[in-house]
Structure 1
């Protein structure tokens, strides 16, 4: 048995499809299938039930794959030990980031990170939180940038900053007249929300505690905060925005941004990794680079009430 064979069965477990697993491993499907077959013959057990679609591991296969993950991780760790001894920061870093952070946070740090660490190849995927977590646990990506706390014993988080919630309010709304708002000012039938699956949507609902399905003349949900802002500008109503999404709003629209009364609602943004994560030097470098890029207006220490979403 070989490390490559272990990598192949891990890929099939991750993708639940031999073709996609082969693509991810940069080999042909016959090559991948032949190597897995050899491993099964050597062990005398079936690792995958090929009669099902998508393909699934057998009960014995689950145990073998779990052990294979440990072996592959330890093998990768050898490269890290050598690199650390040489003082090198190099390799590949794959990052999953949620859509309500990606367009606002990435531009702040990614250019400097790539410039400061030219030997690091960075891959970035924009994913909802549950997909980030799934890929972390399957070790498809190295790091997630998500909203925490996220209760999972298999993950470890390094907090980055605490981002305030703001109301973005149409001039047509009664709330527009207020200097500061509180949760009770937000009417359920006028709040524009993100689609289901976004953690920010759940935080908004938890903050308001009054949103219910209802009949109304207009209801709009989107996967984009920018779309929600535009609807408020044109149609009316209000939405809630995380702080970074308010920093580049045009001056003519800035009066629509309303701060909350104390204790201000905030969301905690963190780097999240698998508990047995590798690439520790890269994680530390990324953490440092992001902290240095955070605007002064955004708190890096908790200063407000963290709104949970799970």
Structure 2
């Protein structure tokens, strides 16, 4: 008896090695490097700001905003004690309320230096709202009279205001110099002024130049100094004046022993002293 059904299939088993898989290609990300991304971002922001600045209404608004942020609210003035601070303050009072961005420190320094009593000035901006002005003043070393007016004379040869109070009475007087103008700010024309100031400083250190002393300048080779009462007029030349001062110090004891006193002592000649007695 035959069995009915699905005919059997023959299956042959054999070993086949697996084929290697092809390598998987990596996908490169298209992200910008950090440095380039930052550069692009800054450029975009900068471009936007430039665009805003080129737009007139925006430029006006930004200008007003910056001016209000950096407007001057405080001025600090550093001046020496013998300089009138009120004059310096009045020179820069117009800067209150102005923007620091609009103020030229160089122009302000020049404006201060144009004052007779100011030798130099520096201006610094301290953001957001402060100006600092440092002033180096001229101090009167002598008193001089031009016409019917009296002025102070600084060591660099500039006519300056006289000190207040009794300060002027403590200054020695000097005559015979010429000036560019008979007003504050006038300058000495004589080129030998530094030597003259050095001579006066040496005499002051020795006690021969004080409040009641007088100096008369004839020329570079004749400078007459009246130190104080009881001392004759000393005549110097500005050439080797230290040697002449030493010569006077060596001879003053001899002159003190002489009767009658002397009117003048001429120290200009090498190796000798010319004495003129009181008549």
Greater relative contact order (CA < 8 Å, ≥ 6 in sequence): 1
TM-score (norm 1): 0.21
Structure with the higher helix share, 1 or 2? 1
Structure index of larger Rg: 2
With structure 2 as the length reference, what TM-score do the two structures score? 0.22
